[in-house]
Amino acid sequence: MTNKLPFFENLSELEERLVATLTQVSDIKSNYQKILSENTSLRLENARLRDRLAEFSEPHITESKNEKSSKKVPMSNLQEIYEDGFHVCRDFYGQRLEPGETCLYCAEILYR
């Protein structure tokens, strides 16, 4: 009976360390998700700023060309965000997709 007590204590210590490690992993995961969300919003902002800069840099572009490019650029930005693993649909915009997950709402927006 006395030999089992140190084993039980070691098992309890291991359990405590595992709980602490799990807490750390959860914290790291939530921080990573925040960073990815911030990264996505910064990418969108950069794309908008580049588009705005292009408007000032190239004032000689015809309106029909502007209309074509303005339709393609937002869709390519959305496609890029979706490929990075984020929803682009109205209901779940900016939320992280699970690995291998697809969203029919996002697909409808991207492939109309």
Contact 60, 71 (CB under 8 A): no
6-26 per-position pLDDT tens digit: 888 999 999 999 999 999 999
**Domain regions of the chain by residue span:** 4-110
DSSP string computed for 31-92: HHHHHHHHHHHHHHHHHHHHHHHHHHH-TT--HHHHHHHHHHHHHHHHHHHHHTTB--STTT
40-91 per-position pLDDT tens digit: 888 888 888 887 777 777 665 555 555 555 555 556 788 888 888 888 888 8
Looking up tokens 């140190």 gives 6
